[in-house]
Structure 1
Amino acid sequence: MGRSLDAGAVRAWCALALDALGRAREEIDAINVYPVADGDTGTNLYLTVESAVRAVDAVFDAHATAGPASRPGLPEAVRAMAHGALIGARGNSGTILAQLLRGMAEVLAAAGDGDHDGAAAGGLLRRALRRAVESAYEGVARPVEGTILTVAAAAAAAAERSGGDATAVARAAHAEARTALEATPGQLDVLGRAGVVDAGGRGLVEVLAALSGALGGSGVPVPPKAPAARPWRAGGCPADTGGGPGPGDGPAFEVIYLLDADEAAVARLRARLDVLGESLVVVGGDGLWNVHVHVDDAGAAVEAGIEAGRPHRVRITHFGAAERSRVPERVQRAVVAVVPGEGLAGLCAGAGATVVAVRPGEPPASGELVEAVRRAHAHEVVLLPNDADLRHTAAAAAEQARTEGVRVALIPTRSPVQGIAALAVHEPGRRFDEDVVAMTAAAGATRYAELAVAERQSWTMAGVCQAGDVLGLIDGDVAVIGEDLAATAATVLDRMLAAGGEMVTLVLGAGVPDALAERLERHVRAGHLAVDTVVYRGGQQSAALLIGIE
């Protein structure tokens, strides 16, 4: 008999799944041809489960501090697992896996505290696997067979047919998932042409193997090695070896974000995103959702999220032509940019950058920047931190990426407007060193300022400010204190333009009206006839207005 279906089993399952996906990550990446051949499914699944592991470990650590007699129950552990997977979900398959775990958690949490043994535990796991599949199909706008969904459905069906305890159910689900995986090339043409099984389904087999190992107490069963890329034959006819989507096929961007919104707003969001793009997956519930879609207009996808609720942790990835080839190949050069707002994320992504969008008080860790470098899938990467406080974090990420064979140049941009200036002169066709020098020069030639509202009374280089005062910071230091945003911004512009300039860039923060930009444009024209002004709606919450002077 295997172990009980309890919190300890959930923790063991997550740990074993992470270890298994870590070992299989590169292999799974290599067979990733659907929905986009961007070679990152294994990595996305690993990062999704890693987030689940951290959440479950945090629950156990919290109980450990309460004393040796304190331990989490099954509901607390599975809810943590599902929440961790949801907030950390990456890519199409990772998002679907997060919903599978959420569906299981719904059933397992409802079972209440205590250890679940024997046939009762087997029945509980059967219901959990069935609910997992139902949830996943509900989250995918246009389900496609021959994918992770098909493998999950086959596993749940086998679990329902099986008897015995939870260990027997898990073993039956895992065995049927392996069989279903081998059939995926015959269900999805792109897999058949490439001669591979579905990468997402391959990862799910690892996760189910880990579940079987955790409940059986024998570790993770060794799954069959995924077939290498080879012609796959059906009905005696040679397969077309043309592979997956080619250059120019499909949307240009992958957009992922977490969304705080109610169910009615999410229903409207699904309908809008379904028109805008494809590979739409919206999963979650209870006010928190993970949104994934492939689109040509990344800005419109993010704007739809803003209309529905509050998007955060926005990630936008540009699908390079080489990333859509049958065997994923690295592009020569890419830019990774950290930005503080959804509008800026869309702007930088539209310029071809891989974007890491952050919120105030939630700076990215070096690991998140390393992941973005990996997603860029390039031999050479230019990293734009766009924040003076991220200098050391970005340096650590660059060093880690270099150990993985990527040539990384860190341009120490201290503001998003410096990053915009650097992107404007980026030329992938130039020699790497020449491109970096040009981008560095453009960033360095851009003086920057921001307008923010003081949260409390404090001493500044311009004197004492009170809570609610408008602060004008030039090159990071408070230079002007005022009561009105427009008047203070005009004073800041005059001070900066006194030293000369040809171009003013204004980036409006969240909730700032367009009328402010119009007023400032008129102010610049009136006092500085030879200076042009360009306006972007950045959506950042950290500053009401960002200013760049070139």
Structure 2
Amino acid sequence: MQTKVAANAQAMKRWLGKAETALGNHSDRLNAINIFPVADGDTGTNLYLTVRAAARALHNNGPGQINTGQTNTGQVSTGQAEAGPTDVGAVLASAGQAAMEQARGNSGTLFSVFLCAAAEPLVGHTRLTSTLLAAALNRAQIRAWSALSDPVPGTMLSVMEAAARAAAAVDSGQNGDDSNHALGLALDAAVEGALAAVIRTEGQLEALQAAHVVDAGGVGMLLILDCLRSAVLGQELQSELLDGLHGYDVQDPHIHNDMPDDDGVEVMCTISLSPLNAATLRQRLDEIGESVIMSQVGAGSDTDGNYRWRVHVHVPDPDPAVRLIRSLGDPSHITVSELALPRDPEADPVNSNGYER
């Protein structure tokens, strides 16, 4: 292990910058093996655009401009953070909120949930330790599993969980050691655990086993975790990490091209809801759609007791879902994207239904 370890807020910014670059470089291969839950070939693109939103939020804010959450009106507040820009949790919370507001697809939404939750145990700390890493990864994987109405093993959820368990196992054997060495061991274990989980995904999902590929979202999460390890330890990314993963060779085709198109659309939005209305919305979306993800954006409520939520669902037709959402609140950033078409970030921002893509 190199001795130049930087486990501070600047390292978190480098982490997300590295992840943006890595996902940009790997997005095509991630798209190529993306067949679950929908064979639409956009997981790489969705993860890249979501991580890019997180990374650029930190880059654009700059020193002393850490976004700390919501005002008492429920609006996002950007200004001088009480803990200052050296607060690791405040930096990641700012990035997580930006990612959540601009999340793309299942994978991007789940990463946003992961990032927001990981920030919580780190608030008030200026340096990452093995114990804090284990706590952050555990909080993040639990929140990601709970965000989905019908979570499925063999996806990026399993990779998050494996990384958290591996880091926790190492930390438990360190007897409270807060040294950089202990942190390095925990980071190494998290990546190794994530890699093992990625390999297992092929046997956990029938669709992946039939196509002889690993899960695209899982591979993306593995890349993100290796970027964290690299940013903190001052080491290069492990170029051999993805060697041998089924379906990931550059000569492999985009396997979803020969699969039937998936009918329906993906609807996403941000909306302020009371806890009761949020529970109602989740229940009714579960009745009319699939891949329902609902996660709270920020920790505070507005003066009416409403909380901001990021909503994601796959439905046959957008209109009933949009009507349902509007009946419970005033949504913002409603996007509707056809599941049969990979999303092009440079495409026309309004689709044939008249909704924003």
The structure 2 residue matched to 1:74, chosen from 81, 88, 98, is 88
Q: Is the 8 A contact 1:59 1:72 kept in 2?
A: no
The structure 2 residue matched to 1:184, chosen from 201, 208, 228, is 201
Residue 56 of structure 1, CA deviation: 1.5
Q: Which whole-Å deviations, capped at 9, do the CAs of 1:202-258 have from their partners, x for residues lacking one?
A: 10000000011011111322221443279xxxxxxxxxxx97995365x51111112
Q: Is the 8 A contact 1:194 1:229 kept in 2?
A: no
Describe the shift of the 1:245–1:153 C-alpha distance in structure 2 as closer, same or farther (beyond 3 A).
farther
The structure 1 residue matched to 2:5, chosen from 3, 6, 14, is 3
Aligned residue for 1:162, secondary structure, equals helix
d(CA) in 1 for partners of 2:349 and 2:233? 45
Counterpart for residue 93 of structure 1: 107
d(CA) in 2 for partners of 1:215 and 1:36? 34
Counterpart for residue 138 of structure 1: 146
Residue 59 of structure 1, CA deviation: 3.3
Residues 238-253 of structure 1: matches in 2 within 5 Å?
246-247=259-260, 251-253=263-265
Residue 75 of structure 1, CA deviation: 2.9
1:167 lines up with 2:184 in the alignment: yes
1:52 lines up with 2:54 in the alignment: yes
1:311 lines up with 2:311 in the alignment: no
Q: Is the 8 A contact 2:295 2:311 kept in 1?
A: yes
Q: Which amino acid aligns with 2:247?
A: A
Counterpart for residue 127 of structure 1: 135
Counterpart for residue 292 of structure 2: 280
d(CA) in 2 for partners of 1:248 and 1:171? 39
Gaps of at least 5 residues in structure 2 are 67-78, 175-181, 250-254, 300-306
Q: Which amino acid aligns with 1:276?
A: I
Greater gyration radius: 1
d(CA) in 2 for partners of 1:295 and 1:245? 23
Q: Is the 8 A contact 2:39 2:261 kept in 1?
A: no
Residue 61 of structure 1, CA deviation: 4.4
d(CA) in 1 for partners of 2:317 and 2:18? 39
Residues 436-451 of structure 1: matches in 2 within 5 Å?
none
Q: Which amino acid aligns with 1:177?
A: A
Counterpart for residue 268 of structure 1: 280
Describe the shift of the 1:167–1:272 C-alpha distance in structure 2 as closer, same or farther (beyond 3 A).
same
RMSD: 2.6
More strand by percentage: 1
> Which TM-score applies when normalising by structure 2?
0.80
Q: Which whole-Å deviations, capped at 9, do the CAs of 1:118-152 have from their partners, x for residues lacking one?
A: xxx11011011000011001100001111111111
Describe the shift of the 1:113–1:159 C-alpha distance in structure 2 as closer, same or farther (beyond 3 A).
closer
Counterpart for residue 166 of structure 2: 158
Q: Is the 8 A contact 1:274 1:280 kept in 2?
A: yes
d(CA) in 1 for partners of 2:258 and 2:158? 21
Aligned residue for 1:101, secondary structure, equals helix
Q: Which whole-Å deviations, capped at 9, do the CAs of 1:159-213 have from their partners, x for residues lacking one?
A: 1111353222121111111111011110000001111110100100000000110
Counterpart for residue 155 of structure 2: 147
Residue 16 of structure 1, CA deviation: 0.9
Residue 310 of structure 1, CA deviation: 2.0
Give the aligned length. Answer: 313
Counterpart for residue 41 of structure 1: 43
Q: Which amino acid aligns with 1:114?
A: T
Counterpart for residue 231 of structure 2: 214
Q: Is the 8 A contact 2:19 2:223 kept in 1?
A: yes
Counterpart for residue 84 of structure 1: 98
> Which TM-score applies when normalising by structure 1?
0.53
Q: Is the 8 A contact 1:49 1:85 kept in 2?
A: yes
Describe the shift of the 1:308–1:243 C-alpha distance in structure 2 as closer, same or farther (beyond 3 A).
same
The structure 2 residue matched to 1:228, chosen from 247, 253, 259, is 247
Residue 313 of structure 1, CA deviation: 1.1
Q: Is the 8 A contact 1:194 1:243 kept in 2?
A: no
Residue 337 of structure 1, CA deviation: 5.8
Residue 96 of structure 1, CA deviation: 0.6
Instruction: Choose between structure 1 and 2 for higher RCO, CA contacts under 8 A separated by at least 6 residues.
Output: 2
Gaps of at least 5 residues in structure 1 are 231-241, 339-344, 357-371, 373-550
The alignment-based identity, stated in percent, is 34
1:298 lines up with 2:318 in the alignment: yes
Q: Which amino acid aligns with 2:194?
A: A
Describe the shift of the 1:304–1:72 C-alpha distance in structure 2 as closer, same or farther (beyond 3 A).
farther
Q: Is the 8 A contact 1:261 1:308 kept in 2?
A: yes
Q: Is the 8 A contact 1:258 1:314 kept in 2?
A: yes
Q: Is the 8 A contact 1:105 1:128 kept in 2?
A: yes
Counterpart for residue 235 of structure 1: none
1:115 lines up with 2:127 in the alignment: yes
Q: Which whole-Å deviations, capped at 9, do the CAs of 1:25-67 have from their partners, x for residues lacking one?
A: 111011100111111100000001001011122332455999x
Q: Which whole-Å deviations, capped at 9, do the CAs of 1:400-448 have from their partners, x for residues lacking one?
A: xxxxxxxxxxxxxxxxxxxxxxxxxxxxxxxxxxxxxxxxxxxxxxxxx
Q: Which amino acid aligns with 1:9?
A: A
Q: Is the 8 A contact 2:63 2:85 kept in 1?
A: no
Q: Is the 8 A contact 1:41 1:93 kept in 2?
A: yes
Q: Is the 8 A contact 1:29 1:43 kept in 2?
A: yes
Describe the shift of the 1:25–1:243 C-alpha distance in structure 2 as closer, same or farther (beyond 3 A).
closer
d(CA) in 1 for partners of 2:111 and 2:65? 27
d(CA) in 2 for partners of 1:311 and 1:146? 32
Aligned residue for 1:37, secondary structure, equals coil
d(CA) in 2 for partners of 1:115 and 1:102? 17
